[in-house]
Amino acid sequence: MNREYPERPTIGVGVVVLRARETLLVRRSKPPRQGQWSLPGGLQELGETVFEAASREVAEETGVAVRALGLIDVIDLIERVPQSQSVRYHYTLVDVAACWESGEAKAATDAADVAWTDVDNLDRFQLWSETVRIIKLAHQKWPTGR
């Protein structure tokens, strides 16, 4: 299935990796939102649960091992072409909270860079407003990161 101009929505998993008051961010190396800071994550594969996808994607993108804590929210990311209103991208994003277990974060696969940031310093990364909301919600639900 094509990610660009798809026939149906694609399921993506975003992961708020918590380490006390910090959150792990990645700079995206591919579209959509290439070059922007976001949560680690990616597409759910056939036969894997959302939590399995979350753990796999974080490991692939950052080298960090995590343990899923729970569901935060579900968001639709729909990008339309302004002139035609055709849908260029449509992702149903299942956002999951996970706690850092081990590993030193390093950019790999779809990540151009990685950074840990305090929940109070999110504004310096120019994140999508929904990403900020999801991160803050995760820190409210799991304030100790566990």
* DSSP secondary structure of 49-89: -HHHHHHHHHHHHH--EEEEEEEEEEEEEEEE-TTT--EEE
User: Does residue 1 fall inside a structural domain?
Assistant: no
Pairing of strands 87-102, 10-19: parallel
Exposed, middle or buried by CB within 10 Å (0-12, 13-18, 19+), for 83?
A: exposed
Residue 30 resides in a domain: yes
Please indicate, yes or no, if residue 37 is contained in any of the structural domains.
yes
Q: pLDDT band at residue 9, thresholds of 50, 70 and 90?
A: very high
pLDDT in tens, 104-144: 999 998 899 999 999 999 999 999 999 999 999 999 999 98
Tokens 């990403």, residue? 131
Q: In which domain, by residue range, is 88 found?
A: 10-141
Position 54 in a domain = yes
The domain tally of the chain equals 1
pTM of the model: 0.91
Neighbours of 96 (CB within 10 A): 28
3 in any annotated domain:
no
- Alpha-carbon distance 108 to 113, whole Å? 8
* Structure confidence by residue, pLDDT tens digits, 32-76: 778 999 999 999 999 999 999 999 999 999 999 999 999 999 999
Cα–Cα distance, 146 to 129 (Å, whole number): 24
CATH number at residue 72: 3.90.79.10
In a domain, 44, yes or no: yes
